[in-house]
Structure 1
Amino acid sequence: MLNRKRLTREESRAQTRLHLLESARILFARQGFEGTSVDHVTENAGYSRGAFYSNFETMEALLIALIAHCFDQDLTAMNHVSSLANLSFEQQLELMSQNTANNTEAQRDAHLLKMEFWMCAMRYPTVREAYQEHHLKLRRTIARAITDSFAAANRSLPLAADQLAGLIVALRNGLDTLQLVTPNTLELDLDTRSISLMVQGANQTALTEQPAKSVKVQNKKVQSKTR
Structure 2
Amino acid sequence: MRRALLDAAARVFARRGIEAASLDDVAADAGFTKGAVYSNFGSKDGLVAALVADRTSAYLDLGLEAVEDLDGSMGARARVLGDRLTDASDGQRDWHLLFFELWQRAVRSGDVDDVFRRHRDSLRVAVTAAIEDHVDRAGGSLPLPASELATVLMALANGLAVERMVAPDDVAPDLMGRVLALLVADGPVP
TM-score (norm 1): 0.74
CA distance in 2, matches of 1:35, 1:112: 14
> Within the alignment, does 1:121 sit opposite 2:106 as a pair?
yes
Give the 3 Å change call, closer, same or farther, for CA 94–29 of structure 1 in structure 2.
farther
Alignment of 1:48-197 (within 5 A): 48-102=33-87, 106-197=91-182
Check 1:99–1:177 CA distance in 2 against 1; reply closer, same or farther (3 A cut): same
Distance 2:164 2:186 in 1: 25
Structure-2 separation of matches of 1:31 and 1:178: 21
| 1:32–1:110 Cα change, 3 Å | same
Report what 2:25 is aligned to.
40
1:153 is aligned with what amino acid?
Answer: A
Q: Residue 30 of structure 1 aligns with which residue?
A: 15
Distance change in 2, residues 1:125/1:91 (3 Å): farther
Q: How many residues align?
A: 190
Identify the match of residue 183 of structure 2 among 198, 201, 205: 198
* Matched residue SS, 2:168: coil
The TM-score normalised by the length of structure 2 is 0.86
| CA deviation after TM superposition for structure 1 residue 34, in Å | 1.6
- The higher radius of gyration belongs to 1
Report the residue type matching 2:71 in the other structure: N
Higher RCO (CA < 8 A, seq sep 6+): 2
Alignment CA distance shift 1:92-1:115 (3 Å): farther
